[in-house]
Every structure is written in structure tokens, then in C-alpha cells.
Amino acid sequence: MKEDAAKICRRLLDSREVDGVLGLEMVGNIPTPKVFAQADDLGRFEVEPVFPIVTLLRNIWPFTGKERIALVVRGCHELAIKELAKREIVDLKRIHMVGMACSEEQARTCRCLRPYPTKTDIGTKVKGVEDELAKSLRKMTLEERGRFWEEQFKKCNKCYGCSENCPVCVCEDCALEDCAFVRTEGIPPSKAFHIIRAYHVADKCIECGECERSCPVAIPLRSLQRMLADDIKELFGYQAGMDDRQSPVVTTLEDAPLKEESE
Amino acid sequence: MPEFEPRILAFCCNWCSYAGADLAGVSRLQMPPNIHIIRVMCSGNVKPEYVVKSLVEGVDGVLVLGCHIGDCHYISGNHRTIKRFALLERLMDDLGIDKRRIRVDWVSASEGEKFQKVVSEFVAQVKSLGPNDIRRDAA
Amino acid sequence: MEPRIGVFICHCGSNIANTVDVEEVVRYASTLPDVVHADHNMYSCSEDGVGSIKAKIKEKGIDRVVVAACTPRTHEPLFRNACEAAGINRYLFEFVNIREHCSWIHMKERELATEKAKRLVRMGVAKVALLTPQEESESPVVKSAAVIGGGVSGMTAAISLADQGFETHLIEKGSELGGLVKDLGALFPSESTPLEFVKTMRDETAASGVRIHLSSEIKDIQGYIGNFDVTISENGKEEKFKVGVVITATGADELKPVGEYGYGRYPNVITQSELEKKLAKGERVGNTVMIQCVGARQPGREYCSRICCMTAIKNAGRILALEPKSRVVVVHRDIMSYNARNEALYRKSMEDGVTYLRYTLEDKPRVEGRDRAEKITLREETLDEDIALPFDTLVLSTPLVPNPDNGKLQKMLKVPLDRDGFFLEAHVKLRPVEFATDGVFICGCARWPSDVPECISQAGAAAAKASIPLRAGKVRTEAITAEVDETTCTGCGNCIATCAYGAISIVEVEGMRVARVNLAQCKGCGACVGSCHNGSIQQRGFTEKQLISMIDCLTEGD
């Protein structure tokens, strides 16, 4: 797949359709982020590892000036870019997305329902995979679910990996670092950490799974996000990344009605 | 053992629910002394983070009272309130946390009796839930 | 420099002191951080009270003030002024409500009420320590007014404003001015007829230069004090104009009691206004029974409509004047004849031969008849006997009910209705002709059923209040607007989407996109703050830190 990707990116660079390609380069056997400015540099271009490429794009974006950037995106990355573009945090006009489908194994690991972008330039589309954990959590009673998450959150060591690597979690001055909401001392942090994180990304989460992938103690955050995505679909008929409208949580009831009894 | 008396926080908006609470007072409608009101201009000002923080740090229940939908003094502040808290409640459900310690309701400036009713009901509700032990899990 | 906080607890006579141990609260307040002075007053809002607060501010070098008393919705401006007079920025003040929200609602629980009052004071002290000085901005007032409703109230208000030199628009739904009064048969006690009275007012209205819009409906009102945009449809044609203030004088309607006592079924069962029309034409109505409180003072509509008893007494007298031999009986559940003049008229009515009998809600009179209503059977309350009352005409005294347009108008003006659907004033005693919303005023039956003298005095009062901002030409806007910390703002746009007034926009600062608030448009609601994930946008006077300091008071030990 990386050869196909490199070929496409080489063409984009040679024709000056883009000024740089954001991607991974193998340095030894470590995939390392790089902006490839010359087609000749694409020798060790790598695309296989699932990587928070959009988080990276977002971080370098203020330094890209007027330059056009290409990057290889999976299904989730495409949606993340869309959510960021909605908020004008990145500019779609300067982004060229090379669509890549995920492998079966990748889809399974992510429990991803849409392991391919709208336009797939590389790879073959595979079927989506249900999140069995999320499904079983739904079937539990409130108390059982509560005990499950309590056990999980006990492991948390407040590394902030989940929020740092999340593509749509954008604030530098993060509420989770505000001692008013999350006490500075102590591990594990209170439930406030997890509730506020999930609440903040809820209307933007495109279920890329970076949060879970980043977690050193394997808290199944992906499944929580799956449940929340279902909730938002039910409450507002809205799906982040797939919807061109503004977040339903910041608009009026006329723009985005609450699909529950209101008063 | 003394009966558990919950400590409850209430956010009330200046134009409707705070005025409704005033009217309840003027009308001498008696109610349990468990609630402490923080005045805001609009219920839309109430961040769910405040409510989460309050509950995590030991407040036993939180009331968010605004204007009826359609009557918000600032047109649509309360639209955001209801949507934010609908989302928060779902999230709490997903995490297995009892959402009955939070109540969002609408009280207009002329509804002194409704204010009394909501307060009395909510205090009874929180009493039945017992003391907030969510802080057990905190640092 | 540490804050120097002064805390003043009010007794409010016995209103607070009877339930809350004021001295205990004072003692407690003096132990709170940064409190350099804690004191109490009998009536903080009195001249003495305010004077002593100002004196203590100067004496103790106090630079922030907490007053624990009634509700800020009445006296906050008073104490802000006191702070300013004593040299403190008026926004370094916090009002704690320990009356409406404490002493009055926990009257049987002195200890618990006192503990709660202590906590509330602690919250107030925590917040005031974090307040920052603010300067109010001014916005201009368009020197014109809109009066909605062309009845007696509307005309009175419009004349008053126009006479003071303000361009005044009087907007009337119907084809002529005069409201309910123009259709009356007689005014009582009065020399002139209602139509003469109304005609005089119409002439005065025109002569004062009021711009009269008849057959006009309000399509939309946007804006705020000093700057309302009014759109009307006058005879189908749209017209727009700007005004600085709006007076609501939309009146009320007589309830038509369809289904009660055979109204709608029998031709001789009529309402008081229908009776007025007949009497005006000199029609004979014969023996008459009047039933009071039809559709009023009962579940579903519990208020007393205040004017129907005097209307009945008036019309009973007129029937007797026209037909001295007819028998008039008024069947009632209490006669509301307030003030000395009305009492005298009631007494005279009895002396002139009108009979007054009582009925109860539980046992209402029953009407009987075939093609016409012929009699009622009344369970007379005092005699506890059934009495049959045959009649030629049955008159039902029904209440005034709110104008059905109130709901629409309320939303445009952003003012509340009470639970019966009448407009709700800012404060029943202290601000009876204003709304809590600045720049909007109320008078007449739109507020509650009132007789003509009451309507005229209310209208005069509303016009007087409305003229204040018009005369000043500017208003100060409360400094509770939002502001953005441009170093932490990510430009995500949540606040912009949330703001109902379009007061926030994205600007570029050193290549970064950040939000910025237009202070002229910001109404100070704080909804934007609720949407901001990292607290970049804050509301002056209600910042995150300030509110959290109050929450912390409840979670840290007492």
C-alpha cells in the first residue's frame, strides 16, 4: 500500500499541486512524522501504522502559511478534518486528502463501523465491525455499568494521552488541566476528568479511537465514545463528521431540535 | 443517627427562576432549607462542568432552573441549557452514574408555587438517594 | 494587596431577624477570609442604613461590600450607588439574599435557616473577593415612544409623552380609538357619556401630535431600551420605525360565558356589556337578575376581576331609573365595592331597592326555561334556603380576561405573563408600571382589571417612567458583558454559534483566529460562556473563578 501511496504523493509534489505531504517516514524501524517537500524524499514513506495524523496536521497548521498540504487519510481522519474545517481550524482548500481504506485487522481492532473514507484511492474497503463491548455495556444495568467504569478509571494515571492525541480536542489551555475542575493532586483523577473530556469532544468525536490507542492502561474509551455517538444520533439526529451542520449543542432548538420530551 | 440532610446547589436565572424564587419567598411558601442559590443572568450561563465539579466534590444535588422554552429573556439561552444537560445525562447513564442528582427545570417569574414544588421534590429525591459518595473515587 | 471586605447583614425589621440569628451571622462573617468589618442594620435600605454603610466604608478602608438582605432585584442599584458615593467602584459589591430565599421560606427552622444564611454569606464573600472594577458603557436612546393599544390607558400615556415633546406612535388594532370604554352605556358616577369621554380623549390625542396608527397590528419588535425596531402592518401596509421605549396598554376582553347559565342558548341571558348596549338604546329589560363571578373566582380562573360588581351596581341603578317598577336582584359571592365612594354607591343601591342575595360556588344557581330563560333557583347562603327567582332578563357579570395577543407580544418584548395570562410587572409595590426588562412599561387592564380612574393614573405613571430614559437621551448598560482571553481562545466558534445577538465574531490577531465580543451588542447573558470549553470567554461579574469560589464554599467544610 505504501508504494501506491508514495506514487500518488510523488505525482502531487512533482506537479506542484501541493507544497508538502504530511506523513510518516521510517527512521530505523520507527515511523516518524515528516513533511515531505520533495518527491525524492518519499523513499521511506510509510502509511501502515495507524497514527494520529490529523492531530499532527492541526498542530502544524498555524505554521503552514499559504501552503497546500497532502496527507493520507483513513475514514476517521477524513471526518476529523471535516469537523476541524467546520470550525475553520484548518482550511479544506489547502488540504488534499489521499483516501486509504483500513485493513480487516485494523477495522477489528478499532471496532470501526466505517473503515474507509468517502473516496478510497488506496487499498480495498472492508466491512465495518460492531463494538461488542459497547453493546454489552448497553445491556447492563446502571449499577453494573457504573462498576465497570469505576474499575477502568481506577487505572487512569492522568497522562492526558487521550486528550493530547485526540484530533478534535483542540484547546491548549485545557479544562482538564484546570485545578478548579480536576484536582491537581492525586492519581487516579476524579470522575470529573473523564466526564468533562467525553462531554467536550462528544459533538465532534468521529470515533478514530486515538484516545483508546493512546491509553497506557488500556481503558476502552472507544466503546464509551461509541455509546455517546449513538446518544447524539438519538438526541439530535446528528453524526459528527458526516453532518455539514453546526454542532447541535450550540445551536437553538429550531436549528437542531432535541428529539425527546422537552418540557 | 441524625437524618441525612442533603446539601444542594441551585443555579437560578435572574429573570425567571430567581424571580420565581423571590415570589415564593414573598408568598411565604415554606420549603426545606437545603438549597443554596447561585444567581446567573441566564441558565445558558451554567456550564455542565460546574455541575460535574459540584457533584464530584461532594454536593449532593444540583438544580438548574431557567425560563420556560420560548420565554428566555435572552431568546434562546435555555435552548442550550436543555441540550447540554440532555447530553450530560446520557453521558452519565453511559458511565453508570446516577443522573438523578441533577435536575433541570423551568420556573417562570410568576411561578412561586412551582419553585416550592420543584425544591421540595428535589430535596426529597436527593434525600432518598443518600449522601453523595462519588467523591470516594477521587484522589 | 488583600481585599478589605465589609459585610452588612440586614434585620429588615423582623422579616429576617425573626428567623435568622443575625448576630450569629455577623459573628460568623467576621471570621471569613479578608473580612475586615462585619455589621448589622435594622433596615439597610433606609437612609440611616445606607449612611452607616458608607460611614463604615470610609472608617475601615473597606474596598468591597457584601450586603445580606432581601433580593438584589429590588435594591441592588441602591447599594451600588452607596458604594460609588463612598468611593468604591460600584461593581465591587455583592448582594446576598437571606430574606426571600431564606428567612421567609424557613420560618419554622431558625437554626437551619441561620446555618444556611451563614453559608450564603460565605458564598457572597468568596465571590466579592474576586470581583473586578468595571465601567459601564453608555448607549443612546432614540427619543420616541411606541404605545401599544388605543384604549383609555393607551391614549392617556400617549398624550402625556407627546405633550412632553417626544414623537409618540399609538398603535391600535381596531378601526377606532377607545378600547372597552367606547362601547359602554354609561360611566359612573360621571356627567358625560362614555362616547363623549372617549371623543374628548381622541381629540386630545390628535391635538397632542400623537401619530395614530389604526387597524394596525404589531408584526415584530426587536431590540432593547433606547433602540427598539417596531414593524407594524397598518391597513395591510408594512411600516417600520425606531423607538426608545414601549408602553404596553393592550387591555383585556370581557369573557363570553358560553355554556354557563344558558348563555348562548337563551336570547335573554346576556353579559353586562350586552346589557350596557341595550340600556344605552333605552331598551326595557324588565325584572332582572344579575349573577356575579360567572367564570371567575373558581378553579381555572381564580382571580377577582375587580370591576364587575360596580358595573352591576351601576347597571342595576340604571335599570331602576328607566323602569322604576322593575325588580332587580343581584346574586353574588361577595360584593367588591372598594373605596368609600363605591361603598356609598353600594349602600344607596340597596336603599333604592336592589336586592342582594348570596350563593356559593359549591351550589350554583340553576337556570330553567324553554325558549327563553324564565327563572333561577338559588340556594341562598345566609338563609340556607332555596329561592326561586323568575326574571325577564338574566345578566351574567363575567371577568375581564387577558388579550389573546399577549402571548405573541410577550415574546417580542421579552416580558413575562403571570399565571392568568396578564402581563407581570417588575415588582407589585416598588415597580408597578415597569417590567424587569428595561424600556418596556405596562398600564391598564393589560396588567389586571382596573376601572377608568385606575387606568388613567397607571397610564400617567407609565408615561412618566418611560420619559426618564427618553429625557436622558442615553442609558448606561450594566457591565456584565462578555470578554475573550485572546491568548487562550482557539477560535472554535462555539460562542459565536451560541450568541443569540450576533455579538461575537472572529478576528485575526497575529495570524491566529480568535473570538471578539462587540460590547454594544452584548446583552450580558453569559450563554456564550456556557459553550466555551476552556473558559476563554468569560462574563464580567459572573466569571468561572467567581462562580466556582461560591461552589467551593459548599463543598469545603462549613
Would the CB atoms of A231 and B96 count as touching at under 8 Å? no
CATH at C490 = 3.30.70.20
Q: What is the pLDDT along chain C (558 residues), one digit of tens a residue?
A: 899 999 999 999 999 999 999 999 999 999 999 999 999 999 999 999 999 999 999 999 999 999 999 999 989 999 999 999 999 999 999 999 999 999 999 999 999 999 999 999 999 999 999 999 999 988 899 999 999 999 999 999 999 999 999 999 999 999 999 999 999 988 887 777 899 999 999 999 999 999 999 999 999 998 889 999 999 999 999 999 999 999 999 999 999 999 999 999 999 999 999 999 999 898 999 999 999 999 999 999 999 999 999 999 999 999 999 999 999 999 999 999 999 999 999 999 999 999 999 999 999 999 999 999 999 999 999 999 999 999 999 999 999 999 999 999 998 888 888 889 999 998 888 889 999 888 999 999 999 999 999 999 999 999 999 999 999 999 988 899 999 999 999 999 999 999 988 889 999 998 889 999 988 788 899 999 999 999 999 999 999 999 999 999 998 876
Which of C433, C456, C475 is the last residue in one of the domains? C475
| Residue A261 pLDDT exceeds 60 | no
**Which residue on chain B is closest to C101 by alpha carbon?**
B25
Cβ distance of A236 and B93 shorter than 8 Å: no
When pLDDT is averaged across residues A179-190 and rounded to a whole number, the result is: 91
User: Do C415 and C313 share a domain, yes or no?
Assistant: no
Query: What part of C 62-91 touches B (C-beta under 8 Å)?
Result: 71-73
CB proximity list for A142: less than 8 A, separation 6 or greater: B93, B96, B98
User: How many domains does chain C divide into?
Assistant: 4
**CB atoms C525 and B77 under 8 Å:** yes
Q: What residues of A are in contact with residue B97 (Cβ under 8 Å)? A: 146, 191, 195
Mutate to test the interface with B, among A190, A225, A230, A251 (most CBs of B within 10 A): A190
Q: Which chains touch C (3 or more CB pairs under 8 A)?
A: A, B
- With a pLDDT cut of 70, the percent of chain B lying above it is 94
Contact C545 A180 (CB under 8 A): yes
The residue of chain A nearest to residue B136, with distances taken between CA atoms, is A190
A61 touching chain B per CB within 8 A: no
Contacts of A144 in chain B (CB under 8 A): 96
Torsion angle of alpha carbons A242, A243, A246, A251, nearest 10°?
-120
DSSP string, C18-79: TTS-HHHHHHHHHTSTTEEEEEEES-TTSHHHHHHHHHHHHHHT--EEEEEES-HHHHHHHH
Specify whether C32 is located in the same domain as C127: yes
Identify whether residues C408 and C297 lie together within a single domain: no
Nine-digit cell string for C61: 478602608
Decide if C511 and A170 are in contact by the 8 Å CB cutoff: no
Count other Cβ atoms within 10 Å, centred on residue A234.
12
Beta-carbon-side half-sphere exposure of residue A219 (alpha carbons within 13 Å): 24
- For the record, the C-alpha cell of A93 comes out as 482548500
Q: What pLDDT is stored for residue B134 in this prediction?
A: 60
B107: nearest CA partner in chain A: A263
CATH topology of domain B8-137: Rossmann fold (3.40.50)
Confirm whether C271 is domain-assigned.
no
The predicted model gives B44-65 an average pLDDT of 96
CB within 8 Å: A170 and C494: no
pLDDT value at residue C219 = 96
Q: How far is CA C507 from CA C179, C491, C504, C517, in A?
A: 52, 9, 10, 10
Cβ B25–C99 below 8 Å, yes or no?
yes
Chain B residues with CB-CB distance to C104 below 8 A: 25-26, 28
Q: Which of A124, A208, A128, A137 is nearest to A169 (CA)?
A: A208
**B127, three cell numbers:** 434525600
Residue C79, by phi and psi: left (phi above 0), alpha (psi -120 to 50) or beta? alpha
In this complex, which chains have at least 3 CB pairs below 8 Å with chain A?
Answer: B, C
C28 alpha-carbon distance from chain centroid: 38
- Average pLDDT (A45-72) is 93
C residues 117-176 closer than 8 Å to A (CB): none
Residue C475 β-bridge partners: C139
Does residue C423 sit in the same domain as residue C361? Answer: no
Write the residue in A147, A187, A256 that is nearest to B96 by C-beta: A147
Q: Specify whether the CB–CB gap between C357 and C380 falls below 8 A.
A: yes
Whether C500 contacts chain A with CB within 8 A: yes
C247, part of any domain: yes
**ipTM exceeding 0.90?**
yes
Q: Which of residues 167-186 of A touch C (CB under 8 A)?
A: 170-175, 178, 180
Residues C444, C351 share a domain: no
- Residue B32 — φ and ψ, nearest 5°? -65, 145
Q: By the CB < 8 Å criterion, does B139 face chain A?
A: yes
- The Cα–Cα gap between C139 and C479 comes to 12
CB atoms C513 and A178 under 8 Å: no
| Nearest partner of B39 among C483, A18, C539, C174, judged by Cα | C539
Q: Are residues C527 and C452 in the same domain?
A: no
pLDDT (0 to 100) of residue B136: 45
Which of C355, C371, C392 is where one domain is finished?
Answer: C392
Mean of pLDDT over chain A: 93
Q: Is B137 on the interface with A (CB under 8 A)?
A: yes
Q: What gap in Å lies between CA C201 and CA C152, rounded to an integer?
A: 8
Looking at residue B139, what is its pLDDT? Answer: 38
Taking the model in full, what pTM does it have? 0.84
Which residues in chain C are contacts of A245 at CB distance < 8 A? none
Question: Where in chain B are the domains?
Answer: 8-137
Substitution target from C484, C485, C492 for chain A, most A beta carbons within 10 A: C492
Same domain assignment for residues C327 and C235: no
Residue of A nearest to C548 (CA): A180
Residues in chain B with CB shorter than 8 Å from the CB of C523 are 74
A84 pLDDT higher than 90 = yes
Q: Which residue of B has its CA nearest to C111?
A: B33
In a domain, residue C556? The reply is no
Q: What percent of chain A stands above pLDDT 90?
A: 85
- A115 with A75: CB under 8 angstroms? yes
Statement: residue A263 has pLDDT above 50? no
Q: In the prediction, which pLDDT does C437 show?
A: 85
Q: Give me the pLDDT at residue A247, please.
A: 94
CATH number at residue C331: 3.50.50
Which among C231, C233, C215 has a CA at the least distance from the CA of C223? C231
Query: Residue B123 pLDDT > 50, yes or no?
Result: yes
Q: C519: Cβ–Cβ under 8 A, 6 or more apart, which residues? A: C137, C481
Do C499 and C407 share a structural domain? no
Sorting pLDDT into bands at 50, 70 and 90, what band is B122?
A: very high
Instruction: Provide, as residue numbers in chain A, all residues whose Cβ is less than 8 Å from the Cβ of B93.
Output: 142, 145
Residue C162 exposed, middle or buried by CB count within 10 Å (0-12, 13-18, 19+): buried
pLDDT value, residue B137: 45
**3 state DSSP class of A33:** strand
In a shared domain, residues C306 and C378: yes
The SS3 assignment for C176 reads coil
DSSP lists the bridge partners of residue A61 as none
DSSP state of A196: H
Structural domain that includes position C14:
5-136
Return the residue of B nearest to C124 by Cα: B38
Query: Cβ separation of C526 and B28 shorter than 8 Å?
Result: no
Inside any domain, residue C75: yes
- DSSP string of chain B? -PPP---EEEEEETTTHHHHHHHHHHTT----TTEEEEEES-GGG--HHHHHHHHHTT-SEEEEEEPPTT--TTSSHHHHHHHHHHHHHHHHHHTT--GGGEEEEE--TT-HHHHHHHHHHHHHHHHHH-S--GGGG--
Q: Which set of grid coordinates corresponds to residue C507?
A: 478576528
CATH assignment at residue C246: 3.50.50.60
Of the three residues C113, C136, C159, the one that is the final residue of a domain is C136
Q: Are residues C9 and C130 in the same domain?
A: yes
Phi first, then psi: give them for residue C285, nearest 5 degrees.
-110, -5
pLDDT over 60 at B79, yes or no: yes
Q: Does residue C456 sit within a domain? A: yes
> Closest Cα of chain B to A240: distance in Å?
14
| C388 shares a domain with C313 | yes
Same domain, C297 and C357: yes
